[in-house]
């Protein structure tokens, strides 16, 4: 009763839903008539699904309903093992790779292992990570570590790595970040002071070397101007205008007077920009969200499920799981309607000069890319999906992570990489220590994904980012601009000055590889030249993508930190926002939330991060939250979260039925009163 049968868009397109006799979702039919179907067992559990592109997956479950084997096209599979408490302990893949996980008595992850190494975590009594160590998992490997110190309120006040960097944080009486001091592994030092208005908004940042950045806001908390300058040079100067829907309407360069204007379709998707030089750029979505770079939508061809088949320069070919395996200027290499090729079917197409060829691990992560001139880039990851190494042209590029942000990288020649050896007792050991050359330390504001400094070879660089957190400038210690860029509507660089990869960060969560020009986005890779990922969303429909390759509908407003969620309401919402009083805020920051199944509240409520932390009366009207003086953004990945429905204001109403620790808080602050 009451099941939604169809949803009609502003353009007249229709998304249809079909159900079985038990009112369980059986089929989705998208705006192009493509079907996504589900098979269920007698208990109603999904045991098979067939995607819009007709790719089929089969799930085998144990008596508890847990998936123990997933079978996919081409004989590919994944097997899962669990402990007695239902926690995942091992994933095995058809390519021979594995991932294994261990937990403490409180259910916290203590170790994650795969074929490249081991990540281990230690916690304090409050559930906060105090030490994280990555190693090759063999005797003789000292590994690299990140250690944390917290104050009595649970604020992280110091982070130290084994490679020599130290970051210290200070907080004001409201618990808001007020100062960051950092030292790199090469002895570099750097500092940032944050000035806020009465509502807690950042209005000025003062950096080492006399560099300053200022912002002003409108009554809704939107940035309307941003300026940066050093002691002897004016820098980034922009004025922003917003439309009635809260979307960015235009940006004016305060120095040149150049204006960039943006246009949106009827459903709010960013569809075009006219840049300051008069050129037009298009990102025209069709009814399912496939984007085109021409106004008439004739520059590209898409197959089923949002798979790009060709554009004006390349044909795109895929394996049986929908991963891109060849981007080629050669035309007509396959007659398959969805450009699917495989060795099993005898349709494998070899790389030739001018092609990009892609190879994938069994867990869906990109393994290597063969470039048009023949050289190959290889990648390695830990069991948490964080990239730990890139190998190219005889060099190893290594990465150290602090949770979800990359904090250090270094490189050395591949011939100097430590090798495995077998001792006299037959034990495998690591031979020698890993070299560390050209060490780079990246500094972030606590709880943020926005880089604010680069420390390298005795030099310090201040990074200025726009309102979205995208780097737009870098100053050296003398106050000179050494890197500068704007962004197009696909997130690619425009008007760049300086070496492209001197600052490799792009949209939040993205790191550009200069060799491939792809953006590493944690669990996927994004191509800013086509505006899509090159593999399907690993969480499938739970990512709420109109297509399984799609990026956010508006690069000026939304981000995808992990390459998992589009703009919408996923099955697990990822990061949610909870509004609260000052008293609850202080307790929450210090102790988190302990879930009690006997508590009549049944957990804590939260809503979408799209609800801006401004105007308590508007928040109350939209969400029903009383005393909305502060907010916390909570990462719910892996937690028991239930969608109760929508509030009176039409926004999602989530219930977190799980513990929330300090480490789950990814952002927090004071609600603006305006």
Domain ranges in the chain are: 1-71, 575-670
Q: What is the pLDDT of residue 567?
A: 44
Percent of the chain topping pLDDT 70:
92
Q: What is the pLDDT of residue 565?
A: 65
Residue 369 has pLDDT above 70, yes or no: yes
- Of the candidates 151, 248, 197, 665, the one whose C-alpha atom is nearest the C-alpha of residue 448 is 665
Q: How far apart are CA 655 and CA 524, in angstroms?
A: 28
pLDDT digits 0-9 by tens, 597-626: 766 667 888 988 767 788 887 787 667 777
Q: To 10 degrees, the CA torsion angle through 419, 422, 424, 430?
A: 40
> pLDDT band for position 428 (50/70/90)?
low
Residue 648 has pLDDT above 60, yes or no: no
Q: How far apart are CA 80 and CA 395, in angstroms?
A: 35
Q: What is the pLDDT of residue 424?
A: 60
- Of the candidates 55, 589, 547, 43, the one whose C-alpha atom is nearest the C-alpha of residue 286 is 547
Q: How far apart are CA 145 and CA 165, in angstroms?
A: 11
pLDDT digits 0-9 by tens, 46-105: 999 999 999 999 999 999 999 999 999 999 999 999 999 999 999 999 999 999 999 999
> pLDDT band for position 217 (50/70/90)?
very high
Asked if 25 contacts 36 with a C-beta cutoff of 8 angstroms, the reply is no
Regarding predicted confidence, which is higher, 543 or 184?
A: 184
DSSP state of 607: B
| Sequence-distant (≥ 6) Cβ neighbours of residue 303 within 8 angstroms | 53, 309, 337, 338, 339
Q: What is the pLDDT of residue 358?
A: 98
What is the average pLDDT value for the chain, to the nearest integer? 90
pLDDT digits 0-9 by tens, 521-555: 999 999 999 999 999 999 888 777 668 999 988 88
Cα dist. 59→48, 49, 77, 85, 92 in Å?
A: 6, 9, 10, 21, 15
Q: How far apart are CA 184 and CA 592, in angstroms?
A: 31
> pLDDT band for position 431 (50/70/90)?
confident
Going by their DSSP bridges, the two strands 202-207 and 25-29 should be labelled as unpaired
Mean pLDDT of the region 641-670: 77
> pLDDT band for position 459 (50/70/90)?
very high
Three-class DSSP category at 326 = strand
> pLDDT band for position 349 (50/70/90)?
confident
- Of the candidates 56, 221, 154, 3, the one whose C-alpha atom is nearest the C-alpha of residue 662 is 154
Residue 568 has pLDDT above 50, yes or no: no
Q: What is the pLDDT of residue 577?
A: 92
pLDDT digits 0-9 by tens, 100-131: 999 999 999 999 999 999 999 999 998 899 99
Mean pLDDT of the region 400-421: 92
Q: What is the pLDDT of residue 426?
A: 61
pLDDT digits 0-9 by tens, 315-341: 999 999 999 999 999 998 887 888 888
Which residue's structure tokens are 């399912």? Answer: 288
| CATH code for the domain defined by 575-670 | 3.20.170.20
Three-class DSSP category at 20 = coil
Mean pLDDT of the region 195-199: 88
Mean pLDDT of the region 444-470: 95
Q: How far apart are CA 99 and CA 494, in angstroms?
A: 40
Q: What is the pLDDT of residue 546?
A: 64
Q: What is the pLDDT of residue 19?
A: 93
Q: Which residues pair with 190 in a beta bridge?
A: 182
Three-class DSSP category at 587 = helix
Asked if 57 contacts 78 with a C-beta cutoff of 8 angstroms, the reply is no
- Of the candidates 347, 298, 286, 354, the one whose C-alpha atom is nearest the C-alpha of residue 318 is 347
- Kindly report the backbone phi and psi dihedral angles of residue 29, in degrees, each rounded to the nearest multiple of 5, phi listed first: -120, 115
- Of the candidates 237, 201, 206, the one whose C-alpha atom is nearest the C-alpha of residue 222 is 201
Predicted structure pTM score: 0.85
Regarding predicted confidence, which is higher, 645 or 348?
A: 348
Of 199-208, 274-283, 344-353, the poorest mean pLDDT is in: 344-353
Q: What is the pLDDT of residue 570?
A: 43
> pLDDT band for position 650 (50/70/90)?
low
């Amino acid at each position: 009763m009451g099941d939604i049968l169809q949803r009609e868009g502003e353009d007249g397109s229709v998304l249809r839903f079909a159900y079985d006799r038990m009112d369980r979702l059986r089929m989705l039919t998208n705006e192009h008539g493509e079907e996504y179907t589900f098979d269920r067992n007698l208990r109603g559990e999904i045991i098979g699904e067939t995607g819009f592109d007709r790719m089929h997956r089969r799930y085998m479950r144990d008596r508890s309903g847990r998936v123990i084997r997933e079978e996919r096209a081409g004989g590919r599979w994944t097997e899962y093992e669990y402990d007695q408490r239902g926690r995942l302990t091992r994933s095995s893949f058809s390519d021979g790779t594995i991932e294994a996980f261990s937990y403490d008595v409180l259910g916290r992850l203590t170790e994650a292992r795969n074929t490249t190494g081991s990540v281990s975590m230690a916690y304090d009594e409050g559930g906060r990570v105090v030490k994280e160590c990555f190693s090759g998992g063999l005797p003789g490997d000292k590994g690299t570590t990140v250690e944390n110190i917290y104050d009595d309120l649970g604020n992280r006040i110091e982070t130290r790595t084994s490679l020599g960097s130290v970051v210290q944080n200070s907080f004001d009486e409201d618990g808001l970040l007020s100062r960051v001091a950092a030292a790199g592994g090469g002895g570099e030092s750097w500092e940032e002071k944050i000035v806020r208005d009465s509502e807690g908004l950042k209005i000025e940042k003062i950096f080492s070397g006399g560099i300053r950045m200022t912002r002003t806001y409108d009554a809704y908390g939107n940035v309307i101007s941003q300026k940066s300058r050093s002691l002897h040079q004016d820098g980034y100067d922009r004025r922003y205008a917003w439309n009635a829907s809260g979307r960015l309407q235009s940006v004016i360069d305060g120095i040149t007077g150049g204006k960039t204007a943006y246009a949106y379709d009827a459903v709010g998707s960013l569809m075009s920009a006219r840049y300051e030089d008069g050129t037009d750029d298009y990102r025209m979505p069709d009814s399912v969200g496939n984007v085109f770079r021409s106004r008439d939508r004739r520059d590209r061809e898409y197959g089923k499920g949002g798979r790009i088949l060709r554009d004006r320069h390349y044909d795109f070919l895929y394996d049986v799981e929908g991963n891109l395996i060849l981007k080629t200027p050669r035309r007509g290499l396959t007659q398959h309607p969805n450009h699917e090729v495989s060795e099993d079917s005898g349709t494998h197409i070899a790389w030739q000069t001018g092609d990009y060829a892609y190879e994938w691990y069994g867990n869906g992560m990109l393994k290597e890319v063969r470039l048009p001139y023949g050289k190959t880039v290889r990648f390695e990851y830990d069991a948490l999906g964080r990239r730990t190494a890139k190998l190219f042209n005889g060099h190893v590029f290594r990465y150290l992570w602090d949770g979800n942000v990359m904090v250090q990288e270094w490189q050395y020649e591949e011939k100097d990489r430590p090798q495995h050896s077998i001792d006299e007792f037959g034990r495998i050991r690591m031979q020698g220590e890993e070299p560390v050359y050209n060490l780079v330390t990246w500094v972030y504001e606590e709880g943020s994904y926005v880089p604010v400094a680069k420390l390298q070879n005795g030099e310090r660089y201040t990074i200025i980012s726009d309102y979205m957190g995208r780097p737009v400038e870098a100053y050296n210690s003398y106050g000179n601009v050494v890197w500068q860029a704007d962004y197009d509507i696909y997130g690619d660089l425009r008007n760049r000055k300086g070496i492209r990869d001197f600052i490799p960060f792009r949209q939040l969560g993205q790191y550009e590889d200069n060799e491939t020009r792809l953006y590493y986005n944690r669990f996927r890779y994004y191509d800013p030249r086509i505006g899509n990922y090159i593999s399907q969303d690993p969480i499938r429909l739970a990512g709420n993508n109109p297509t399984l390759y799609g990026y956010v509908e508006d690069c000026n407003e939304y981000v995808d930190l992990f390459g998992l969620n589009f703009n919408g309401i996923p099955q697990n919402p990822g990061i949610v926002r909870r509004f609260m009083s000052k008293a609850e805020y202080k307790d929450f920051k210090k102790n988190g939330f302990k879930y009690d199944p006997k508590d009549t509240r049944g957990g804590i409520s939260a809503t979408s991060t799209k609800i801006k932390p401004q105007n308590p009366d508007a928040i109350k009207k939209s969400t029903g939250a009383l005393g909305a003086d502060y907010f916390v953004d909570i990462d719910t990945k892996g937690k028991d979260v239930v969608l109760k429905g929508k509030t009176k204001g039409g926004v999602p109403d989530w219930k977190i039925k799980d513990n929330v620790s300090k480490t789950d808080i990814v952002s927090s602050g004071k609600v603006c009163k305006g």
